[in-house]
Amino acid sequence: MNKDIATPLRTRAILEKYGFSFKKSLGQNFLIDTNILKNIVDHAGLTDNTGVIEIGPGIGALTEQLARNSKKVVALEIDQRLLPILKDTLGPYPNTKIIHGDVLKADVSKIINEEFAGINDITVVANLPYYVTTPIIMKLLEEHLPIRGIVVMLQKEVADRISANPGSKDYGSLSIAVQYYTEAETVMIVPKTVFVPQPNVDSAVIRLTKRDKPAVSVIEEEFFFLVTRASFAQRRKTILNNLTSQLPNGKEMKDEIVATLHEADIDPGRRGETLSIEEFAHLSNLLYPLFR
């Protein structure tokens, strides 16, 4: 059994060996607690037949745990300086492959087809860089990839927003967008003390299990998301004010929007955060013919 990468001592030794310095712009925070990594892996429900996509492997601390518990791990790393380190640390794991690239620009569907031929159980597991968490999650969901789900570590406040329910201060268009595609649950809280360098905030691990079909039925997905984003544009404003100021030609269409809200049985004086995903779906389906 190879020595774990994720110990303070071994991490320091690897960083010193390669003279590696952290880049703030890439949101690099490496985990130095093996138990937490093993917990993340447990929550991902891996088997000998699972293919794993990892984003931002760093020096391979999580990658190593994933490799021990799955059939194959393909990790995308944007920082070229980490490639020789990963070649070294992941040497003992022939079932790992590192691809140098930015996940936001990568053709993930193509990677899945090429790297996971014959593997039907595919999941994403990652310790995401804070500054691009939301765009990465939305890309993975919007591209309708053949994945079972996503287990990621991210800023606790973003995890709170993703798993929030109507009526709470954290509930917003991100909650709706993610819950439209998946069932979201926060599975563990991770203190900032187990990272090097230490971030300013605590983290959380969230598990997103892909739904067989979206949570609600909408005529046009893009328009549904436009309506939800518009409804939360200014949280203190009523849904009527937000929709008239944010939708294209909304001001000229105010009377039609009022009538549609009444038709949807939604009081125009309510705020976006009080509406359930079902109400948003019903409303966007009624508004769609007016704005297409």
Annotated binding site: 29, 31, 56, 77, 102, 127
Per-residue tokens: 211: 């739904």
Give the type of residue at 256: E
Whether the CB-CB separation of 242 and 272 falls below 8 Å is answered with yes
Q: Which two tokens stand for residue 289?
A: 């013919």
SS (H, E, C) 189-238: EECHHHEECCCCCCEEEEEEEECCCCCCCCCCHHHHHHHHHHHCCCCCCE
By the 8 A CB rule, do 28 and 34 touch?
no
Q: How many alpha carbons lie under 13 Å from residue 273 in its C-beta half-sphere?
A: 14
Binding-site residues for S-adenosyl-L-methionine, please? 29, 31, 56, 77, 102, 127
**Other C-beta atoms lying within 10 Å of the C-beta of residue 72:** 20
Q: How far apart are CA 155 and CA 133, in angstroms?
A: 8
- Rounded distance between C-alpha atoms, residue 191 and residue 205, angstroms: 11
